[in-house]
Structure 1
């Protein structure tokens, strides 16, 4: 659980630092509000995926117990 959280945090930080430079190097103008919404969408997808994986793991563990 902790390793998944650390992995999600590191990937979030990586996307935070790599995404604006990639977008700006391609000539796209990126405003602060659109970048913020991009970060919120990416982070919410990470959180939803983490919860889905945790739910699957807990269901598998529950099935093994019985």
Structure 2
């Protein structure tokens, strides 16, 4: 699965417009074409949903 996060700027993802702080994933369907609507900074995370994980530690949210 991939998860796209918009750090800055604005992009079109298919028919949807995303701005700073927005994100979209490919959990339900592959991501459509992405078009920057100007200078934009994006991060794409590739997530292995079958990887082992832990909720222990200092940054676990608990």
- Please confirm whether the aligned pair reaches a TM-score higher than 0.5, indicating the same fold: no
* Higher normalized strand content (fraction of residues): 2
Q: Normalising by the residue count of structure 1, what TM-score does the alignment of the two structures yield? A: 0.17
The structure that has the greater radius of gyration is 1
Identify which of structures 1 and 2 has the higher relative contact order when contacts are C-alpha pairs closer than 8 Å and 6+ apart: 2
